[in-house]
Amino acid sequence: MSMNILNVPITSISNLKRSPMEAFEKANKENTGVYVFNREKVVGVMLTQKQYESLNNEIEELYDQMADLVAEKRVLYGNVETFTDEEVRGKIANEPPIIDEDDGWE
């Protein structure tokens, strides 16, 4: 079986051991992850901190959008079940609230 050539920056485990910063610099320069190979198999992908955080933020935004769409779908199709405050919070819902003046909130 022949290996497909990826159109992304690559490095080997040996090169990574010699100079890890080189992989990060390549990832930053190419603005993409650097695939790390060990014996012709991809074993990982190196990203800069900025790239990693950007991907995590994008994932969070997509999860938020999915949650909004699921809620919108439920409302549109009438698949909505409501609960009373007592059903959600239990007996504490009927007790007067305890206000802590020193909790740090203005």
Do residues 45 and 33 lie in contact, with contact meaning Cβ atoms separated by under 8 Å? Answer: yes
CA–CA dist 34, 30 (Å, integer): 9
Domain ranges of the chain: 10-46, 49-77
pLDDT one-digit tens code per residue, 63-105: 999 999 998 998 898 877 889 999 999 999 999 988 888 888 8
- Name the pTM for this structure: 0.63
Q: Compute CA distances 93 → 71, 72, 89, whole Å.
A: 25, 28, 6
Label the pairing between strands 10-12 and 34-38: parallel
The structure tokens 């090169």 sit at 15
pLDDT one-digit tens code per residue, 17-63: 999 999 999 999 999 999 999 999 999 999 999 999 999 999 999 99
